[in-house]
Each structure stands twice: as C-alpha cells, then as structure tokens.
C-alpha cells in the first residue's frame, strides 16, 4: 500500500491524503487504464475520495485528495479563493525573454488541444517566476501560479520563448521525443486546514535532468520558495 507504478503516498489523515504522482499517468481513466486518482483510491482502500485539484498527465509531483465531502468542500474553496500556495519546478533549454517576473494574460484554445496566451487580461492566467542556470545549457524555473488554468505553466514558459524540455505540445515535438519526460514538477503545497498549516515539498524523482548534480545544486536556491522576495501582485 502507498506505493504503485503511478503514485507514492506522502501523508494522510482522516480528512485528506497527499500523494506523489509520477509522470506519464493521467489523472482520470483512459480507456482500460485507471488514472492516478482511481489507483490511489483503490490502493489506499478509501471508501470516499474527492479530487481537490488535478495535474497534467506529463506532470509529476504533489497531489491533494480529500477523504470526506466536508474536507473536499473546505479544501476546494481554499484553492478557488487562492489561499493555497503552489510552487512548480521546470527546466527549459532555451533562453527566456526575461529571467524573473510576471506572466499574465488571457488564455484561449488553440490547435491540437493546446492553449495560447493573449495580451488581454479580462480573466487572466497569472504566474510569477524566478529562474537560474542549471548547467548543460538548461535553465531552472521556479513557478508560482496564482490561477489554475489548463496548461497554464506550459503556456507561460512558451510565451517566454522557453518551452519546457520534453513538452511535445508546446515545444519541439521531435526534440521532445528524445527526452525521457516532460520536465514539469509540482514541488510544493502549502495550505491551512482546520486551523493548522500544512506544508509539503517533494523534489522530482524521475528524469535524467532532474536527477543530475547540476540540478541538485541549482535547486538549492529554491528549497524555501515562500521565503523568496516575491513582489506584490
């Protein structure tokens, strides 16, 4: 229990559980293959389970699942009201237009299931970021999304001219095939629940570039993401 080909258990209590989702597994069932949500519910023998938020198939990292309807309502509201601090790690092999700052704009559907960023800000996707060199021509991004739009971070980095390594939808599809994964990882979750603050951080466990010595050195700058000098929005 607590460990399968699709996830590993990080923590659980009577109200929720936190799992580490592995890359390449969908959140929901795809044909005959159960998604990570279903696998975690079965694997931990839960009578009830509620998806508080989701991760893309290509993304690894922390995923929060409620175990009661009451917990689901409170946690879902916390996400909706942007009271949950989320941080992601990503790698790009392209030089970004700017090394840190804010990416903001409306998102609209494009071709092939992709999305694109517009210059307008009627109902914008909002992402703050820092970045630093990570050796071997790679750049490490620490991303702080303030909204939860589909593909938001992948679109944000493409808009900087620095699509994520291994992202076949928003980067070079041929180059992406040569990579062992898409290098996007849900690294940190912080939220208040029933008067207590919970903080979870898990570094990525899969992918040659995420396991390199250069990455491990670079990510040291981001081990306490909430302590960084994030500007006021």
Which residues are known to be catalytic?
Answer: 56
Instruction: Compute the distance between CA of residue 199 and CA of residue 201 in angstroms, rounded to an integer.
Output: 7
In whole angstroms, give the CA distance from residue 18 to residue 8.
9
Q: What is the DSSP string of 68-106?
A: SHHHHHHHHHHHHTT-SEEEEEEEESS--S-SSEEEEE-
Instruction: Give me 227's structure tokens.
Output: 């302590």
For residues 11 and 196, give the distance between their C-alpha atoms in angstroms, rounded to a whole number.
15
Residue 174 to residues 22, 25, 60, 165, 217, Cα–Cα distance (Å): 23, 21, 22, 11, 29
Residue listed under structure tokens 């390199």: 212
């Amino acid at each position: 229990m607590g460990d399968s080909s699709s996830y590993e258990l990080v923590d659980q209590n009577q109200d929720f559980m936190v799992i580490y989702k592995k890359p390449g597994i969908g959140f929901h069932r795809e044909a005959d293959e159960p998604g990570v949500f279903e696998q975690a519910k079965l694997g931990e023998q839960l009578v009830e389970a509620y998806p508080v938020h989701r991760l893309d198939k290509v993304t690894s990292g922390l995923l929060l699942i409620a175990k009661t309807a009451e917990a689901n309502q409170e946690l879902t509201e916390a996400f909706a009201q942007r009271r949950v601090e989320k941080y992601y790690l990503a790698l790009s092999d392209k030089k970004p237009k700017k090394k840190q700052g804010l990416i903001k704009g409306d998102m609209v559907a494009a071709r092939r299931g992709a999305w694109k960023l517009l210059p307008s800000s009627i109902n914008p996707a909002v992402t703050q970021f820092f970045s630093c060199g990570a050796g071997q021509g790679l750049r490490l991004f620490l991303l702080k999304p303030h909204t939860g739009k589909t593909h938001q971070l992948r679109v944000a980095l493409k808009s900087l001219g620095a699509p994520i390594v291994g992202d076949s939808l928003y980067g070079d599809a041929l180059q992406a095939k040569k990579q062992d994964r898409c290098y996007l990882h849900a690294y940190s979750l912080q939220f208040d629940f029933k008067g207590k603050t919970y903080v979870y951080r898990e570094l990525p466990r899969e992918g040659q570039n995420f396991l390199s010595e250069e990455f491990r050195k670079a990510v040291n700058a981001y081990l306490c993401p909430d302590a960084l000098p994030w500007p006021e929005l």
